[in-house]
Structures are given as C-alpha cells and as structure tokens.
Chain A
C-alpha cells in the first residue's frame, strides 16, 4: 500500500493524544496533581487530537462532505472512528473544564477513558477488518495502535510533568518505559507474524487459470492508473528496510535511554518520529491482492 501522510499523521497524533489523556486520567483517579497540570495536559491532548483530525481531512477528495461519514456506524469502523473522535475530544474538554471549575471529575473521567479506548479499537479495526490485507488482519493491529499510542502519550505526560509538576515525572517516566517495552514486544510479534505470512491469493486464483507459471504481459494501461498509484509504495526495498530499522530504534530503545537519563522531551520527539516511521512501514508492508493484476505495464 502507498502510505498516505494524512493517515500517518492522523493515527500517530490521535494515538499520542489518547495516550496522554489516559496518563492524565490515571493521575486524576489514583494520584494527585494541581488542576492547572490537568488543564494544561488536556489542552496538549486536544491539540494533538485536533492536529490528527485536521490531517485526516487532507485524505478526503471531498472534505466538505466529511459530515456524511457518520452515517454508516452500524457496519463501518471508519464511520465509528469519525463519531468517536469528536466525542472523545468533547469528553476531554469537559473533563478539563470540570477541573478548571474544581468540580468532581470521576464521571467525566470514566466517560472519556471509555471513549479513548473505543477510539483505539476503532482506529485499529479500520485496518484489521480488511481480511485480505493479511498483514493487517490480526488482533495485533488494534493492540499495537493502542499500546504505541499509550507509550507515546505516557512519554508526553512525563515531559509535561517534568515541566509543570515534577513530583509526577518519575512515575510517568517509569510507566512510559513499561508501556514502551510492551508496545515494542507486541510490534515485534506483528513483524515476526508478517514475515511468515504466505499470500492466500496468487496469480492463479486472480485470473482463475490453474498453472504455476503466470506472467502478466499488459495491464490495460500504459501510463499507470489509480491502481498503480494507490497500492504500491514505489520505494526501493532499501528504503522500506531503512524505515523498519529506524522505527525499531526510535520507537523504544532510544527514547528509553533519554527517559532513563531524565530527558523526557527529546524522548517524546524521538519516539514520535519513530512512530511516523512505524506507521509508514505499516502501510508499505501491506501487500494488497489487487497488485497481482498490476505486475507489468507494457
């Protein structure tokens, strides 16, 4: 698949926003911090979420019709995500206002946490539900979206705490390390799974001729088509491999070093860069069965 920067930014930014909110929610429920820390944290979370939302509009051919995409929530995970994302943003906003007004925040927190988890599931399932994209069709996909989002959010929380409320910083850094390690293991598991995948579709099933040797001569177009643009990343294998090594280094090991040595802000920036590479690789790695019909041009 061709990685779309709009979708890469959407998924990484809202993942970090959700993770950051969950980190704040944990401190709200089980710890203590001044209201201004929570309000500032919610503001940063909302900026991340809004950034993702804005990025997603660049993916659409008709952004002015985006409101229509809430219609098919019964069947479409994309539609569910479109509904849950603004609901979650509203819940985070309400939770921050409740802190600002010194109100009881327990129920605001419960609702927002449930929406954050629902949003992780929706985002992951958009990809995991496509069964013939075998690299994505696994429970590891929503799990990885959730864990990587939580890890980057906790790193962001550690950075915020170091700046605004230092007593919480060590706990957040420890939690970010734990979540990062867990996310790293789950991502490695997905890589190992996908390395052993055998494509179910072959040229023989694609055109229905039972023969082991089928070579395409022509695809019906000389200058490419939507099918050649949308489903091939078009990068040499070295670039894909470099992206994998980059995210394997940046998603956890390097940020962990910075977290341990007490630099959570560079840790977050490095981890976020790693997540961009991870998401790019996630798309580039997926081999769409339609590509069987677009192997040769002449």
Chain B
C-alpha cells in the first residue's frame, strides 16, 4: 500500500511545541534561568534587564513560572505554572503585525519575531491573550519564546541536546518537546493519553503548547474487598477465635 500523505491523516505540517506536566512541575524556576541564560547569550542579542540588583528588578523573559493556590484553606493545592509563548496554530499576534516582523514558520510552526523588522508598536502584545510577548526595554523590539530555534537545529550539538534549554534544564522532566502533529511523538502521546489541554480555548487560538493536568494518586476500596463476600458458608467466621491472652503465632515459633 502506498504511503498515506500527511494531509489525509488529518495532520498538517510539523508543529513543534512543549507539553508541560503540571503534575510534575515543582516550581523551581530552572527552566526560567536556563532560558534566560541561553537566550541572553545567543545570536539574537541580550534579553535585557532593568535595575537587576535594585529594589524593583525588571527584565525581559521568554518564560516565567507562576504559582497559584487552588481551593480554600485548608483544602488547597499549590499549582506551579510555567508560562511561555504557546506557538498557537492560529496565532492572533501574527496577522495584526503591520510590518511582517511577527510570523509563523510553515516548516515547524514556530512563531518568531524578526528583530530587524520590528518597529516596537506593541500591537502584537495587545493581540496575544496570554501575555506571552514582552517588549525589550533596551532594544525596543518585541520578544518572545523561540523554542530555542537556534539550538534545536544545531548540528554541532549532540542529538540529545537539540532541545530547548528549558526542557534540558527541567530536573523533573516536566517539559516534553516534540512535534504534536506526529501521532507517535512523545509529546502527542502525552497529550492524548494524559489529558493534555490548551489554555483559554475560548478564543480559538489553538495553542500548540499543551499542559498535562495535576492528578491525585488514590485508591478506592469497596466493602467486598475488605470482607470475603465470596465465602457463602462464612467458614472463616466459624473458626474459634483465640482469646486475647492466648499466645499468638509470633510467640510460639521463630520465623
């Protein structure tokens, strides 16, 4: 049988994305610092900071970890929530850009900003419901997560390191990187099998990045599992019950 073209499978071209497991994230900010380090020292120029050691430090970040408290005390749960550009499949930030500096790559679905074309009008940041874009106050251009596009295709790096810096840094492997249009990729499988969901689905942006929900490990016991309901004669119950003072098995034998 001939190979089925991609389009027939209902999948478009490659769409690289991150799948972030909120069940595993411990909120350590390692992804934030590794992202800052890699993208600060890369070809695209610095991710500038203002007043980094002062009282009101501020700066440009591609990735931030936020923390939320769900529920009411004492029944609360802490959710650490890493947030970066979601590389939407219908990115609302791209069509509004007047210069074409914001674009979505056809070959891998990464949404990028051409820093040489950006005029710093901030309209794209208004058009992003997630607040994923930040204006660099020093370079005066809009910046956002690039999925480490200068890293993931770098043939000089060992294959295992051709991943975004945040993914490599995560100590709990809460970040999965891959092509979510490839049904066999780890990322697509995680979305499919672990209830991966998109943020703010109400706006139809179809974010490529997905989040895996927090899960509670619990066990449900039914009464028939505590008592032998399958013993119709109740034979066990008829056996003489030893008195409290009688020696137990431990007292009469050594194992």
> A: which residues have CB within 8 A of B?
1, 59-63, 65-66, 68-72, 75-79, 82, 126, 129-133, 200-201, 203, 205-209, 211, 213-227, 230-231, 288-291, 293-294
A to B CB contacts below 8 Å, 30 in the list = A60-B119, A60-B121, A62-B118, A62-B120, A68-B98, A68-B101, A69-B119, A71-B98, A78-B96, A129-B96, A132-B129, A200-B202, A206-B199, A207-B68, A207-B211, A208-B213, A209-B79, A211-B70, A215-B68, A218-B66, A219-B64, A220-B32, A220-B83, A223-B56, A225-B64, A227-B131, A230-B122, A230-B135, A289-B200, A293-B83
Report whether A201 and B202 are in contact in the complex, using a CB–CB cutoff of 8 Å. Answer: yes
Report whether A225 and B61 are in contact in the complex, using a CB–CB cutoff of 8 Å. Answer: yes
CA distance A224 to B214 in the complex (A): 28
What are the residues of chain A within 8 A of B65 when measuring CB–CB?
220
What are the residues of chain B within 8 A of A291 when measuring CB–CB?
131
Q: How far is the CB of B184 from chain A (nearest CB, A)?
A: 25
Which listed residue (A69, A133, A220, A225) contacts B121, Cβ 8 A? Answer: A69
Report whether A76 and B58 are in contact in the complex, using a CB–CB cutoff of 8 Å. Answer: no
Which listed residue (B58, B72, B121, B123) contacts A221, Cβ 8 A? Answer: B58
Contacts A70-B98, A206-B200, A223-B58 given; indicate if A214 touches B131 (C-beta within 8 A): no
The 0/1 profile, CB within 8 Å of A marked 1, for residues 64-97 of chain B is 1111111110000011010100000000101111
What are the residues of chain B within 8 A of A217 when measuring CB–CB?
67-69, 78
CA distance A1 to B64 in the complex (A): 21
Report whether B70 and A222 are in contact in the complex, using a CB–CB cutoff of 8 Å. Answer: no
* New A-B contacts (5) at CB < 8 Å, excluding given A61-B141, A72-B95, A209-B213: A76-B96, A77-B96, A208-B199, A288-B126, A290-B131
B124-183 at interface with A (beta carbon < 8 Å): 125-131, 133-135, 137, 139-141
Taking the complex as formed, is B201 at the interface, i.e. its CB lies under 8 A from any CB of chain A? yes
Report whether A82 and B211 are in contact in the complex, using a CB–CB cutoff of 8 Å. Answer: no
Interface size classification for chain B: 35 or more
Report whether A226 and B134 are in contact in the complex, using a CB–CB cutoff of 8 Å. Answer: yes
Count: A-B pairs, CB below 8 Å: 180
What are the residues of chain B within 8 A of A203 when measuring CB–CB?
68
What are the residues of chain A within 8 A of B118 when measuring CB–CB?
61-62, 65
B188-233 at interface with A (beta carbon < 8 Å): 197-203, 211, 213-214
Q: How far is the CB of A118 from chain B (nearest CB, A)?
A: 16
Report whether B51 and A213 are in contact in the complex, using a CB–CB cutoff of 8 Å. Answer: no
Q: How far is the CB of B40 from chain A (nearest CB, A)?
A: 16
Which listed residue (A72, A132, A226, A293) contacts B98, Cβ 8 A? Answer: A72
Q: How far is the CB of B237 from chain A (nearest CB, A)?
A: 46
- Residue of B58, B65, B83, B200 ringed by the most chain A CB atoms within 10 A: B200
Which listed residue (A1, A60, A66, A205) contacts B200, Cβ 8 A? Answer: A205
Q: How far is the CB of B120 from chain A (nearest CB, A)?
A: 2
What are the residues of chain A within 8 A of B133 when measuring CB–CB?
226
